[in-house]
A = this chain, B = another copy of it.
Amino acid sequence: MYPPSEAARRSGFSLDTLRYYEKIGLLSGVGRTSGGRRVFTDDDLSWLVVFRCLRDTGMPIAEMCRYAELSREGEHTVAARQELLEQHAARVEEQLTLLQRQYAHLREKIRFYQGITGATPVP
Contacts and interface: CB of A to CB of B under 8 A. Distances in A.
Main secondary structure of the interface of A (DSSP, over half): helix
A24 interface: no
The quantity of this chain's copies bound in the complex is 2
A1 B79 CA distance: 52
Interface stretch (A3-11, A14-22, A85-93): A85-93
A110 interface: yes
A34 interface: no
A61 interface: no
A33 B64 CA distance: 49
A117 interface: yes
A28 interface: no
A106 interface: yes
A106 B86 CA distance: 9
A82 interface: yes
Contact of A105 (B53, B86, B98): B53
Nearest to A112: B82
12 contacts: A50-B109, A56-B98, A56-B102, A78-B113, A78-B117, A85-B113, A86-B110, A89-B106, A89-B107, A92-B99, A92-B102, A96-B100
